[in-house]
Structure 1
Amino acid sequence: MITDQQRAFEQLYHNNVDKVHRLCLGYVKGNQPLATDLQQEVFMKVWQHWNSFKGTAKRSTWLYRITVNTCLQFLRDNKNKLTESLDNKIEQVVETVVDKELQYATLYACMNKLNKVNKSILLLELEEVPQQEIAAIVGIKHNAVRTRINRIKQQLTKCVNYENI
């Protein structure tokens, strides 16, 4: 017999699995297998800590916070490995990809130049998370989120244009 907790978890999972995956994908520079592993780890943590949810925010906000924290912890734990892996991938991309794929790689490289908070804001904005919710997730005011989004867009535009010269 399925409990209410299991039903609620399944609903949270089905409503957010794609968003969590894309958010993880942004943190691991487009690496699908790593993003899938992180996504699974996120939902395992959500299940393990289901009863610790305080209810002060929406469950989806709590889920995004767990996702961001899980991704940041992974990056801290694997900093050197990911840098070497990215360097190797960039060399392969430059040699073999078509123009459109190169543009995506450039965009990811520019995104990775953002600080952690701005990167989180950008990825959540791309997932169409409401700005009020983004503010709650990253711990800043709503107006600051709007300002940062505009500045992030300007930074990325400059970076992408510079990288394509």
Structure 2
Amino acid sequence: MTLSNSGTATPEQFLLQLWQQNQQAISRTLMASEADPAARQDLKQDIFLALHQSAARLQAAEMPRAYLLRIVHNVTVDHIARAKRQQWQALDEDTAQQLQQDCPSTEVAEQQQSQQLMQAVRRLSPANRQVMLLAMEDLDAPEIAEILQISHGAVRVRLNRAKTELMELMQNGR
């Protein structure tokens, strides 16, 4: 599915189409960035508001997906910084296990593996987490460099460090 970037769509229509096409990437970013469902919903609303405010710029952007993900990234970074200042606490293990027990049995193993990955991604250093989340969305180094406004070389270095850190976290987490 491609975006209709022509003048026939309003910026809001273009934003909705872009949102729908990138909804899975946004959801994964939300899951990796926020364990608390209520706070995650607040973050999602903050992201959509920021995107809505930038709808015309998104429509005019040369790389609208990269621009959208940069906004998602920036809002998420602000959210995490605010949460640290407010002493938000992550979802405790008992609650997480109870939520998993409510899932159909065929999906539990997949969700547990996904949860372990997201927990490990949450524990990455902020710079490594940023690069890893964007790489998990199949963005290439130039796109990641554009989103984070760093060089391609810095992206490659951060990505290698993030992979190493993530492998260590996954091995130690088991």
Task: Specify the TM-score bucket, using the shorter chain as the normaliser.
Answer: 0.7 to 0.9
| Equivalent residue letter for 1:135 | A
Equivalent in the alignment of 1:42: 47
| Residue 139 (structure 1) aligned with residue 149 (structure 2) | yes
| Equivalent residue letter for 1:44 | L
Q: Identity rate of aligned residues, in percent?
A: 22
SS of the residue aligned with 1:38?
A: helix
SS of the residue aligned with 2:52?
A: helix
Offset of 1:133 from its aligned partner? 0.6
| Residue 26 (structure 1) aligned with residue 32 (structure 2) | yes
Tell which deviates more after alignment, 104-113 or 9-18: 104-113
SS of the residue aligned with 1:160?
A: helix
Structure 2: give runs of 5+ residues left out of the alignment: 1-7, 102-107
| Equivalent residue letter for 1:6 | E
Within 5 A, what are the aligned runs for 1:8-157? 8-29=14-35, 31-52=36-57, 57-79=62-84, 80-83=86-89, 86=90, 89-93=92-96, 100=109, 104-157=114-167
- The answer (yes or no) to whether the contact 2:14–2:59 under 8 Å persists in 1 is no
Map Cα deviations across residues 120-147 of structure 1 (whole Å, 9 max, x no partner).
1111111112221111111222233223
- Relative distance call for 1:26 and 1:57 in structure 2 (3 A) is farther
- Relative distance call for 1:162 and 1:6 in structure 2 (3 A) is closer
| Equivalent residue letter for 2:80 | L
- The answer (yes or no) to whether the contact 1:121–1:145 under 8 Å persists in 2 is yes
- Relative distance call for 1:89 and 1:12 in structure 2 (3 A) is same
- Distance in 2 of aligned mates of 1:97 and 1:159: 21
| Equivalent residue letter for 1:138 | L
- Distance in 1 of aligned mates of 2:26 and 2:83: 20
Offset of 1:3 from its aligned partner? 5.1
- Relative distance call for 1:95 and 1:22 in structure 2 (3 A) is closer
Offset of 1:110 from its aligned partner? 2.8
TM-score, structure 2 as length reference: 0.73
Runs ≥4 residues deviating over 6 A: 94-99
Give me the CA root mean square deviation.
3.0
| Equivalent residue letter for 1:10 | L
